[in-house]
Structure 1
């Protein structure tokens, strides 16, 4: 292994291990390359983990088990029932709790002497540089492009090693970025993609156990960096396809023409846009309708639910008809026409929170007749429920022609 593949041990070791630690980490102590000194380095290290979700959960679990001395968790979300299929730190009893609190409790159950810090905020240009500079390394399990590039730019500015992972449906990727010792994320992907260029987990889905595979690989990279062993994924992107059981590696080098990161100005704009979209402030209000506005004139509207079958089985809005987004993407406006017996003045489309209905609206706008106003229900069924309106459980079957009446 060449020196270019390994920057050497990341931290200086503690002076000694306690008898408790010698017993607890016995299986590490006999490993070539780790041993007592490597374990002392792990106990001296501090790691910042961005996100306590699909990737953050296995990362946190294995870092704590490995003996990392200090862990900081940053996440502004709360535990939802849909998280439990993959976010293995959290339990059913944690639903509704802040993820950082649930994750902290889980780590302390594993090791009561672990030093755990929590930040119940979103990573932002305002806090990122201080957080990165105060930790030995960072593991990014974020679920959006803006935060990933924010992490990359902060790592470059502070010189902090960054371990990066992504997951989508049945595939995942991992790479390691060490500023000054190999290429960075912007050498591989120079520009920040549009926020909606790839569906999120809620829309696209993710295989739960894939999170464990990719998260464990990220934690492995952290141990290698801290101890200075093996060949970290510097200048390499590891790709895993769970359906094909296939691992592949893409090698990449620093781009000699890339301008170095000198500030957070560009990524701050992307973060602001991502935050506005998450908060519902970036929506096209001209084509939205609120729950109250819909109810005030619902008799003249066709309400179409573009969610999946299983989502309607949990809850649906009374009077809505079902036309999955996947069908609309193939059939377009003719699929809507089959549901209409008397032409409505409005067609209102809804999903869970508004993202998929906005996408459906874009698909239909050019094909719909001028006499029909297309609208997206702002906030979707989440806003409907939050307003105190009743939902019903559907059979989950897709609507048939003639289901709507006026």
Structure 2
């Protein structure tokens, strides 16, 4: 934690001045690409197995394969390479919910540069521990959200003469992230559209700047969730706004206020902002595991979730790239996410049914269920705290089905054979999508109506 004798003065981020925003240039992104080559992985562009289902030629930019599991390595490597010898001596400090912190710790250690990261209490415990494991780096837990963690980091920077590095707005960070755009165009020269997760804006600012320079007709879509929509609101009001963020499956996007330089840089380069509900993000994580055989964290899964939710019908028949920005997901959260997604899709069904308390009743019930191919995951009889007659037993059941159709078949079957059966209501999100769409930013907008 911070020392007790910290000055009452508050630190400010001199690299992100609201009165003097800096717009990222393609030439600087190209220079960053040359700086990080051979150090940061040139990630593959993977052909999707799910593309045919959604009527498009779909690809994934696999940033989850980076050494620390996210795209943030690019910016971290570039910004540290741009420091002066004096700055390297005193070191760097940053605030992050996880991925940027991991990248800074790793590359600072590699370059023998002192590094301190400030993380909010809401950050992933797994990412906190990974940062601590990188020797020589100090981890400070402070504040309830990234805004509070950031101010504390700025105060520490002022006291200790360290350079504060904004993980989504320092221009050298944005330039590093923009190298993804160069790689995508090189790997898929005829790309039609790129979907990019958006938190503070650094990733999309860099990618959009690079791609629009190399292939101006490529459409760039920024993706946010219904809990992490700071950039969408900022663009709607044309000024940086602060939003409150509660717990979110897309923690990498949990930025209360977008960056100064990022906001200035994306104007005229991003075609559309899309907001997708977090239920769809959980389903995206599940389907990527099942169909693509790899794990993507919530922030990265927003891109495929948007396609699954049917929010981009205009991209059918086109070559589309989803940026999978990271793969650092706490196993406990992943497990919960998978089961929640299965429940949303009707593949896990919870219900109560009252059976006659006689020999063979349980066997008869289980046989009835298994005959239609349904698996019973949990089966708990309750004889005491029930309101039915004394010679009846209430059973709580969790069953696994193949999807909504079989869930309905199971519901109809149980209700037909047993008078007292109560099913947990299926989520409407399994059938209907009602997500909001952000403001259209394109000079000549493509019609987004279904």
Taking structure 2 as the reference length, the TM-score comes to: 0.26
Q: Comparing both chains, which one has the higher relative contact order based on Cα–Cα distances under 8 Å and sequence gaps of 6 or more?
A: 2
